[in-house]
Amino acid sequence: MSIELTGRYILVHTDGSCIGNPGPGGWAVVLQSMDGSLQLNQKELSGHVPDTTNNRMELSAAIAALEAIKNKELPVIIRTDSSYLANGMTKWLEGWKRQGWKNRDGKPVPNWDLWERLDILNDSRVHWQWVRAHDGNELNEVADKLAKAAAHSAP
C-alpha cells in the first residue's frame, strides 16, 4: 500500500533485538512528527525485557509507538524491517481473529497477547510498511542500535 506523504503525519521506525532467542531483549522506536517532507519533531523510545524473543520485541516496539502517539487523528506510517510484524498486520491478523487466534494448523498464534494489543491500537489511519534491514535507511539503523543497546541493558 502506498500513501502520499503530504500534510501532517507521524512517521515511525521500529526495531526489536534479542541476545539469543530467547534471551534478553530490547525494542526501540523513532517517532517523527512530519509536515510533508519537513520534520517538525523527533522522539526516541526504547525498553528491555530480561527473557523474551526477537519477535516479541518487534511487536513490543510497534505497541510502544502506537501508545506514545498523542494525536489520534494524524495518519501514522510504521516502518519495520520485520516481515513477521508487517505481514502479521497486513495479511494474517484478520484470519487469526476469525479463527479465534489460531493459525491455519489450528494451533494458538504465537504471541497472540501482543497481536491482540496491536489489533486494539491499530486503525485505518495506521499504515504498515516493510523496509529492508541494513539497507541505508538511517532511522531504521538508529532504531536497530537503540534496540540492541536496550537488549544489552536488560537485567
Annotate 47-63 with b (16+ C-beta within 10 A) or e (fewer). Answer: bbbeebbbbbbbbbbbb
123 is in an annotated binding site: no
Q: What angle do CA 76, 82, 84 make, to 5 degrees?
A: 100
Catalytic annotation, pick one of 13, 48, 88, 144: 144
Of these residues, 13, 16, 25, 26, which one is catalytic? Answer: 16
Is 134 labeled as catalytic in the residue annotation? yes
Active site residue 51: no
Instruction: Determine whether the annotation assigns residue 135 to a binding site.
Output: no
Pick the catalytic residue from 25, 26, 48, 58.
58
What are 40's three cell numbers? 517538525
Instruction: State the catalytic residue, choosing from 13, 15, 25, 48.
Output: 15
Given CA atoms 37, 139, 121, 95 in this order, what sign does their dihedral have? positive
* Residue 137, all three cell numbers: 535507511
Task: Choose the catalytic residue: 134, 135, 136, 138.
Answer: 134
Task: Write the DSSP symbol of residue 96.
Answer: H
- Check whether 144 is labelled as a binding-site residue: yes
Which of 25, 47, 81, 88 is an active site residue? Answer: 81
- Judge whether 58 counts as a catalytic residue: yes
Q: Is 138 annotated as a binding residue?
A: no
Residues making up the binding site: 15, 58, 81, 144
Enumerate the known binding-site residues for Mg(2+): 15, 58, 81, 144
Residues with a catalytic annotation lie at 15-16, 58, 81, 134, 144
